[in-house]
Amino acid sequence: MAETTGLVQRLTVGSSVSCVWIGPNPNNTTLLVVSDNGMAADVAFAASLVQTLASAATNYRSVAAIHGNNSSTITALRVDPV
C-alpha cells in the first residue's frame, strides 16, 4: 500500500466519482479518486471519505490518503492531529 500526504488542494465531487488533489502545494500534488462499487456500504464509505476530505480542505488540515501502490483509488484516509 502507498500513502500520499499533504493538504487537500482541490476536491471535485461527482455523482459516482470524486477527484482530489493532495500535496504540499498547488503545483505539487497527486491525483487521487474516491469511488464506490454501488453497494450501499461502499457508497456510504465513499461519502464519508468525501466529507472528511472536504472538512480537511476547509480547515487546512493535512491528510494521509492510503491507496494501492499502482492505484489512485483511496481506500482509507487519515487526518493527523495538529
The residues that touch other proteins, with contacts defined as CB under 8 A, are 4, 17, 19, 21, 23, 26-31, 33, 35, 68, 70-73
Cβ-contact 3, 52 below 8 angstroms = no
Which residues are within 8 A (CB) of 22 and not within 5 positions of it... i.e. 6 or more apart? 4, 5, 6, 7, 8, 9, 29, 30, 32, 63, 65
Residue number, 68 or 78, with CB nearest to other proteins: 68
Measured from the CB of residue 3, what is the shortest distance to other proteins in angstroms? 13
Q: Which of 40, 39, 22 is nearest to 31 (CA)?
A: 22
Positive or negative, the Cα torsion across 30, 31, 37, 42? Answer: positive
Measured from the CB of residue 65, what is the shortest distance to other proteins in angstroms? 12
Residue number, 12 or 51, with CB nearest to other proteins: 12
Measured from the CB of residue 54, what is the shortest distance to other proteins in angstroms? 18
Residue number, 23 or 52, with CB nearest to other proteins: 23
